[in-house]
Structure 1
């Protein structure tokens, strides 16, 4: 008789989140998407926001990371620059994976130079290690992550090692009294409604516009470096408008103009396939729900109809895809 602990309904895998607090909102979204696995009895998750007042921080985190069967490393520049995440949690996770005690899964949240870290030899998710914030529709990225985790757990259900639960024949029990206390059942639904002011929305919009400009500048440079005969230029027309052009052998092939606050509302970001004029191919407007500020698309086309909420990274990627679509046909 098989003694696996990942058979649906027979037991749950302990999942540990290692992340930078700067990425807490992204971690919250990932945990929402993992709810289906929780409802099916596959996983129970833990992160440091579960620590109760008065508990020893280091001892509690150590107890959790030492008993987790799956450790999710939520990778970003903030994660890599965090001494605790990089040198303590990641190091311990990789040690446990090397000894066959757990599985370590890098999840790339934001673009960063992670491939030259000790994680470079691991298969990272989402698909092709494309950062979650670079997907036009982040929900699709989270769904892809969940599918990979589900596949990992289902594969573990066919083997007793290295995904055996603590206390099984595959490894000695590492559960301490602190771990037992922290595994007491309670809801993970602890978020409260947030509200966002006009100032918050203004900061998001203008910060995003600056991000999109940097994104285009870097992308044009890389496109030119990788493709002989291609040249790219970005021209800053004003503090609220820039243009981008791509040339093949000196001839302009595609171009666009991106601006904020022009002819719609003060926070809208517009995309035009022409350098001049007031016709737009896309308009992004700032909106908010009870958890976050985001962009929504206002042009009804098949290209932009894939998502209703965009991060600044998603907005930049969507505009870049539109610029390149003619070149990539």
Structure 2
């Protein structure tokens, strides 16, 4: 089968590789759609911290935002999965430790991340093998574009839940990339008053197209405190800003990661009784994201700017926008699409 392979920093190529086999407890999925994520771009560039610690290494096959159809099942897997459209969890815990047994498999000490770490091949390929325990069925109302946004949607939904807001309260989202916009969509679906802050006016245009009108830059942001703040950016200085902007006694949620360490004055937390919550992975939010997509309360599809084939993926990872791309922040890959198709 054809798969994207990262062979070194700044090097990627589509290769013919052995297709996956359905091992015991696993299924093989024919990939319908896969998203290109900032993590994939960091793995491609060589900036990803896992490459320095040895948790990830080249050659590497990325892709952790995906959906597809089950085409084979391994021993111990209910054959009723055959032919079902599914998406799946990125975080694959050992299933035996105390964290996994308590439902916190995403922080298992031995977790493997599909398409990211510990050599687990990802979904920027025609097929991917996945443990059956990681699968989430997709209803017919969830098309491939939405299905491949279930994983980032799960992250965003977890961030909204962590903000602990009631309808009518005000949420400030820092960052207008895929996660920031999904946080805004899930919060709006819950009746929360959403404000977004972007780098500049141009970065706010995707949010404006989604119907959000309380949009700010750092220079125009009102000074009043917010009932909760979600930092969905990759800017090292914004967690500290979020802590200063949150209403005393309320919450800051950090889901973005900067390339350099963020500094945060704990006095801004202690003296104002602010709680900071970190969100890693969409595991506990996947089912809720799929349900919201299925019932129409959240429509993530306008975030997809373009869908291209595997042959164009290296260019996307390098930061090139596909010809004719729309304003959304996300590019999807159809592994069976040929160049120009």
Q: TM-score range by the shorter chain?
A: under 0.3
TM-score, normalising length: structure 2: 0.26
Q: Which structure: greater strand fraction? A: 2
TM-score, normalising length: structure 1: 0.27
